[in-house]
Amino acid sequence: MNPFRFRALVTLDTPTTKRVAMQYASGTRRLMVHAWSTGQPSCDKYFPATIAEENGLPLRPARLTVVTITVVDDEAPAYFIPGQAFTLWGACGGHGIVSRQVVTDSGPS
């Protein structure tokens, strides 16, 4: 399986309990991305992901943040296209929208 990277605008939900961390370190692997396929028939899938903030700052609830999300799954391109909405699952949930796929020197990643 190849890594698939995309840029997105995300907002973490405000935690409902004090036990939940008030922020996630950039590069966290403790969140899952829940998305719906763009094909027919539409179906949903959960992807373990690494989520990193552009400047390495922590991810904080209720703050709109540009991030790079890395998913290692060959089916990811069918779920994460520009304009596609998704949700975040973990100790603190959230939501986001894909802005673009990240392309490296060796091609799409």
Write down the pLDDT at residue 11. Answer: 92
Does the pLDDT value for residue 45 go beyond 90? yes
Distances in Å between the Cα of 42 and the Cα atoms of 2, 12, 76, 81 are 23, 25, 14, 14
Query: For tokens 């890594």, what's the residue?
Result: 3
In Å, the largest CA–CA distance within the chain is 44
| Each residue's pLDDT tens digit, 63-108 | 899 999 999 999 999 999 999 999 998 767 899 999 999 986 655 5
- Residue-wise pLDDT tens digits, 15-34: 766 655 566 777 777 789 99
Higher pLDDT, 38 or 92: 38
Looking at residue 93, its pLDDT comes to 85
Domain residue spans of the chain: 3-104
User: How far is the C-alpha of 51 from the C-alpha of 73, rounded, in Å?
Assistant: 15
> Can you give the pLDDT at residue 67?
94
pLDDT at residue 103, as a whole number: 82
Q: Which CATH number fits domain 3-104: 2.40.30.10, 2.30.42.10, 1.10.1040.10, 1.10.540.10?
A: 2.40.30.10
